[in-house]
Amino acid sequence: MMKTQKTKLSHEEIARYARHIILHEIGGPGQHRLKAARVLVVGVGGLCSPVLSYLAAAGVGTLGIVDDDIVSLSNLQRQIIHDTKNIGIEKTKSAEQAIKRINPHAKIEKHTLRLDESNAENILSSYDIIVDGSDNFTTRYLLSDMAEKVKKPLVSGAVGRFYGSITVLIPYEGDNPNYRDLFPSPPPEGTFPTCAEVGVVAPLPGIIGSLQAMEVIKLITGIGDPLVGRILLYDGLGATFNIIRYKKHK
């Protein structure tokens, strides 16, 4: 659970977040934590469209957005934070416009760049929680290594075809495992083809991204049992959820 910082909710915010505030598990203190929180979202694609939308609606105070791409027509089948009129503009700008329509109280920090070893530590260190919505193993390993280095929780999701997964990584606490305990080394090139190569059904990123948003809210407010040391696997064709536990390699 994050420490509660001094924040003040306006009358309009109290009305906006009323359904949170009446939840015993969240209440006023939890809503203040949400407002004080700084969450970095990496990749403004299918996964992080619902992540950004729900975190903004939930009242997360500051949302950082990392992406160096522009909106294309093929994105719109699943990247629901963007729309047709924004084709050709930067995804960070498109997402900012959408978030402001959802909740004008949300503060947006745009990082219109590709995350790499030269900038990742500096960017990640200024946020409380990191959300991985990337679509490649290079970025996933970079994020997991750097989030561990700067001691920030990482909520990692992945999707392809009809299948998705999500886990929460806090390896700097106790014996919690890290991403390399789950995937010791990157798979051989071509083993895991991209969504552009094999496709992805439209609602799938929405399902996994919504679960990522839920894990972020749990981490901020200190409620529930985050998916630490567990990976949740979703099969859209079979309509099944399974959880596999994994441990830190000694």
Indicate which residues carry an active-site annotation.
Answer: 195
Q: What is the DSSP letter of 187?
A: P
Nearest-5° angle of CA 164, CA 141, CA 149? 125
Cβ neighbours of residue 118 closer than 8 Å, sequence gap 6 or more: none
Helix (H, G, I), strand (E, B) or coil at 172: coil
Q: Which among 233, 145, 158, 234 has a CA at the least distance from the CA of 193?
A: 158
Distances (CA, A) of 107 to 103, 140, 220: 9, 25, 17
Residue 42's beta-bridge partner residues? Answer: 66, 132
Q: Which among 72, 85, 80, 5 has a CA at the least distance from the CA of 38?
A: 5
Distance CA 104, CA 73 (A): 27
Distance CA 195, CA 129 (A): 26
Query: In terms of DSSP H, where are the helices of the chain?
Result: 11-16, 18-21, 27-36, 48-58, 91-102, 120-124, 137-149, 179-182, 195-198, 203-221
Helix (H, G, I), strand (E, B) or coil at 90: strand
